Amino acid sequence: AADDRKFSVLIAGGGSTYTPGIVLTLLNGLDKFPLRKLKFYDNDGERQKKIADAARILVKERAPEIEFEATTNPAEAFTDVDFVMAQIRVGKYAMRSLDEKIPLKHGVVGQETTGPGGIAYGLRSIPGVIELVDYMEKYSPNAWMLNYSNPAAIVAEATRRLRPNSKIINICDMPIGIMDRMAQIVGLKDRNDLVFRYYGLNHFGWWTDVRDKTGKDLMPQLKKHVAKHGYLVDDDYEEGIEPSWEETFKMAADVYALDPTTLPNTYLKYYMYPTQVVKHSDPNYTRTDEVEDHRQKLVFGECARIVENGTAKDTGFKPDDHSTYIVDLCTAIAYDTKQRMLAIIPNEGAISNIDPTAMVEVPCLFGANGAERLAMGKAATYQTGMITEQNSVEKLAVDALLEHSYTKLWQAFSLCKIVPDAGIAKDILDDMIVANKDYWPELN
Ligand code: NAD
Ligand code: LMR
């Protein structure tokens, strides 16, 4: 019999700035991934409504047969769902801003997923993501969750320990965006034209091999470009790019220089050049301010415009790497395609000389059973040292939350490569405890 299934998708964190892109990608791809229902869930109904009112118009104009609903009620949201796309930000931009500004005040990199800021966010994010998993298992036990919520490495370590049998797959769009850039550099259409080997932790990994589908080795051409321009591409010069991303893509050249046998993930810049990053940071205007002034304004402004005009026919919302990746993953699971894509999963031998319990980012085959990891072999000495240290930081952060341990959290902060010593780690930690008092358990 013909496969006439249609799927029900829930976006958890409906008020996210990334939601409209996902809605557009879903609506453009109904021939490959048909929908019967699209729902939004958020615990901030007012924020979500601004996106949902525009999305409702989009759905009505392009696919009126799809049932659309936005709710703050978990039972309504999670009942009768096949896929949950999770992208929540516990504490929202107000807390992200502190994750960035508190470390910077102490002369340390302040970043959403890196160092003390990332750990602080992790301790807020874990209970929020676990709550989503539990809602899914209660109301739609057969559903899959694809989770973008950051800091993905720490959240993934927590889901491995707390919900080892749950159908949650933690994912990241950073290497995906870089691979779209690689494709552009070598003149291919998109990332799906590349066959790659990659290993590491989330926001902390390396490509060891990139080829086209005929088997041609693309590494020499890519290395030549990255050595000179980092991952900046022609489109950046033509269409413009936010200043912080321009800097990040450019700095890939310096990160690459440290290991010319591989190609690096961009966020390694924070670990290898923290002094330079801090020097280029403005403690009074961080990435959060930039997101609020650019992406958030654009997205919410466009939603308001759609609602005011009562039509989305002329909308500028476009599919992007973030939205196409999560829809590709759902499609691969739904139709058991075994497409090769990255996920953050328990190592279990994928990197042979790294702790089997580490949550690593490696290529996997995606199908009806979720993600099947591919063996990437042995990490080189440099990468082994980096990964082992960083993974211990991530494990200690989860230990600290579960055990309510001040000492473990202090260890996590001080073991971070970007924190110069335990004294500074303690000063940052003590400020972070005050700032996160509404979110963290009491530590002792
Ligand atoms: P955002 O603040 O615009 O949206 C997040 C939404 O989550 C908000 O509407 C907020 O109200 C909601 N929320 C917060 N806590 C919640 C909870 N406990 N339950 C339900 N909803 C909750 O954030 P954004 O910048 O669009 O990013 C969303 C998330 O996706 C963040 O965690 C971000 O770090 C992550 N992200 C990940 C990647 C990746 O590749 N891994 C890329 C981009 C963004
Ligand atoms: C975000 O988009 O907020 C982050 O996940 C990455 C960035 O752009 O800083």
- The interface predicted TM-score (ipTM) is 0.96
Ligand 2 pocket, 100 CB below 6 A? no
pLDDT of res. 79 = 98
- d(C-alpha 294, C-alpha 152), whole Å: 23
Q: Which atom of ligand 1 is nearest to the CA of 19?
A: 26
Question: What is the pTM (predicted TM-score) of this model?
Answer: 0.97
Q: Known catalytic residue: 267? A: yes
354 Cα: distance to centroid of ligand 1 (angstroms) = 30
Amino acid identity of residue 173, one-letter, is D
Residue with CA nearest ligand 2 atom 8: 291
41 Cα: distance to centroid of ligand 1 (angstroms) = 12
Ligand 1 pocket test, candidate residues 11, 88, 90, 135, most atoms within 8 A of CB: 88
The one catalytic residue among 267, 271, 273, 325:
267
Q: Which atom of ligand 1 is nearest to the CA of 173?
A: 40
Burial of 228 (0-12, 13-18, 19+ CB in 10 A): exposed
Q: Which atom of ligand 1 is nearest to the CA of 151?
A: 34
- d(C-alpha 18, C-alpha 323), whole Å: 8
Contact 154, 130 (CB under 8 A): no
- d(C-alpha 323, C-alpha 142), whole Å: 23
Q: Which atom of ligand 1 is nearest to the CA of 128?
A: 18
The one catalytic residue among 42, 173, 321, 431:
173
What is the pLDDT tens value at each position of the chain, 444 positions in all?
A: 688 999 999 999 999 999 999 999 999 999 999 999 999 999 999 999 999 999 999 999 999 999 999 999 999 999 999 999 999 999 999 999 999 999 999 999 999 999 999 999 999 999 999 999 999 999 999 999 999 999 999 999 999 999 999 999 999 999 999 999 999 999 999 999 999 999 999 999 999 999 999 999 999 999 999 999 999 999 888 888 888 899 999 999 999 999 999 999 999 999 999 999 999 999 999 999 999 999 999 999 999 999 999 999 999 999 999 999 999 999 999 999 999 999 999 999 999 999 999 999 999 999 999 999 999 999 999 999 999 999 999 999 999 999 999 999 999 999 999 999 999 999 999 999 999 999 999 999
pLDDT of res. 239 = 84
Residue with CA nearest ligand 2 atom 4: 112
- d(C-alpha 174, C-alpha 245), whole Å: 12
Q: At 367, give phi and psi (nearest 5°).
A: -160, -165
Ligand 1 pocket, 17 CB below 6 A? yes
pLDDT of res. 1 = 63
Residue for token digits 């961080």? 286
Residue with CA nearest ligand 2 atom 3: 291
Instruction: Count Cβ atoms below 10 Å from residue 353 Cβ, excluding itself.
Output: 14
pLDDT of res. 240 = 83
Ligand 1 pocket, 347 CB below 6 A? no
pLDDT of res. 2 = 80
Q: Structure tokens of 215? A: 């088997």
3-state secondary structure string, the chain? Answer: CCCCCCEEEEEECCCCCCHHHHHHHHHHCCCCCCEEEEEEECCCHHHHHHHHHHHHHHHHHHCCCCEEEEECCHHHHHCCCCEEEECCCCCHHHHHHHHHHHHHHCCCCCCCCCHHHHHHHHHHHHHHHHHHHHHHHHHCCCCEEEECCCCHHHHHHHHHHHCCCCCEEECCCHHHHHHHHHHHHHCCCCHHHCEEEEEEECCEEEEEEEECCCCCECHHHHHHHHHHHCCCCHHHHHHCCCHHHHHHHHHHHHHHHHCCCCEECCCHHHHHCHHHHHHCCECCECHHHHHHHCHHHHHHHHHHHHHHHCCCCCCCCCCCHHHHHHHHHHHHHHHCCCEEEEEEEECCCCECCCCCCCEEEEEEEEECCEEEECCCECCCHHHHHHHHHHHHHHHHHHHHHHHCCHHHHHHHHHHCCCCCCHHHHHHHHHHHHHHCCCCCCCCC
Q: Known catalytic residue: 173? A: yes
Measure CA of the first residue to CA of the last residue in the chain; give whole Å: 61
Ligand 1 pocket, 44 CB below 6 A? yes
81 Cα: distance to centroid of ligand 1 (angstroms) = 20
Query: Exposed e or buried b for every residue in 395-423, given b needs 16+ CB within 10 A?
Result: bbbbbbbeeebbebbbbbbbbbbbbeeee
Ligand 2 pocket, 322 CB below 6 A? no
Ligand 2 pocket, 203 CB below 6 A? no
Ligand 2 pocket, 291 CB below 6 A? yes
248 Cα: distance to centroid of ligand 2 (angstroms) = 12
